[in-house]
């Protein structure tokens, strides 16, 4: 009798059929899982790029509110108000500063560092100390149309709208409003 003529028992055939079905189901599940992961990753990248940019902060100009090395999340296309912290492009870098003045407003920074907008002193509870800082513009200063006057919280070292180099920033260079800090974990939470 030839080996080709031997028919395996039914139990062996059922076992082989079960193995082949399991292998096909595993491959199908793996393809589906990989597809879902690729789609989720693509959506996350798009959201991070288009709606919620994430930044790793460099420098000390926003201390003590934000510190070097922290990771923050911004929201694009929001209405800004005085005191909001924004990220904006400057010379192929992203800078983070606080909005102090809007188009058409008159800004005056007094010698002791007190900020006056349209004749009213601004309450700044986030500052640890006031400073006139580096400044080469003349006060009082009228914020041009479609621009914002921004300042860092560490006034003695921050380069911001008080200098001609940076000046009042245009609306189109604003990346977004900083709303959340998620690193380091101990400081996790909303940014204000």
Asked if 180 contacts 191 with a C-beta cutoff of 8 angstroms, the reply is yes
Taking residue 56's Cβ as centre, other Cβ atoms within 10 Å add up to 11
Nearest to 135 by CA among 114, 115, 161: 161
Does this model's pTM top 0.95? My answer is: no
pLDDT of the residue at 149: 97
Active site residue 28: no
Taking residue 152's Cβ as centre, other Cβ atoms within 10 Å add up to 25
pLDDT at 176 over 60: yes
Model confidence band, residue 2 (pLDDT cutoffs 50, 70, 90): low
Q: How do residues 51-94 score in pLDDT, each as one tens digit?
A: 567 777 788 888 888 888 888 888 887 789 999 999 999 998 88
pLDDT of the residue at 48: 56
Q: In DSSP terms, which residues pair with 117 in a beta bridge?
A: 107, 120
**Mean pLDDT, residues 26-42 taken together:** 81
Q: Which of 35, 61, 93, 129 is catalytic?
A: 61
Active site residue 97: yes
Q: How do residues 103-157 score in pLDDT, each as one tens digit?
A: 999 999 999 999 999 999 999 998 888 888 888 899 999 999 999 999 999 999 8
pLDDT of the residue at 61: 87
pLDDT of the residue at 7: 80
Q: Which of 11, 60, 97, 187 is catalytic?
A: 97
């Amino acid at each position: 009798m030839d080996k080709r003529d031997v028919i395996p028992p039914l139990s062996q055939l059922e076992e082989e059929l079960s193995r082949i079905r399991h292998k096909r189901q595993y491959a199908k599940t793996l393809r589906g899982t990989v597809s879902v992961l690729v789609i989720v990753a693509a959506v996350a990248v798009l959201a991070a790029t288009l709606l919620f940019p994430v930044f790793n902060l460099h420098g000390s100009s926003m201390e003590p509110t934000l510190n070097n090395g922290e990771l923050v999340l911004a929201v694009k296309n929001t209405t800004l108000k005085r005191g909001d912290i924004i990220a904006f492009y400057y010379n192929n870098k992203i800078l983070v500063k606080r909005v102090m003045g809007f188009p058409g407003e008159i800004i005056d920074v007094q010698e002791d560092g007190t900020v006056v907008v349209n004749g009213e002193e601004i309450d700044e509870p986030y500052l640890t100390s006031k400073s006139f800082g580096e400044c080469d513009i003349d006060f009082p200063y009228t914020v041009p149309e479609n621009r914002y006057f921004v300042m860092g919280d560490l006034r003695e070292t921050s380069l911001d709208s008080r200098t001609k180099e940076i000046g009042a920033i245009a609306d189109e260079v604003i990346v977004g409003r900083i709303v959340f800090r998620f690193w380091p974990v101990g400081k996790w939470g909303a940014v204000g």
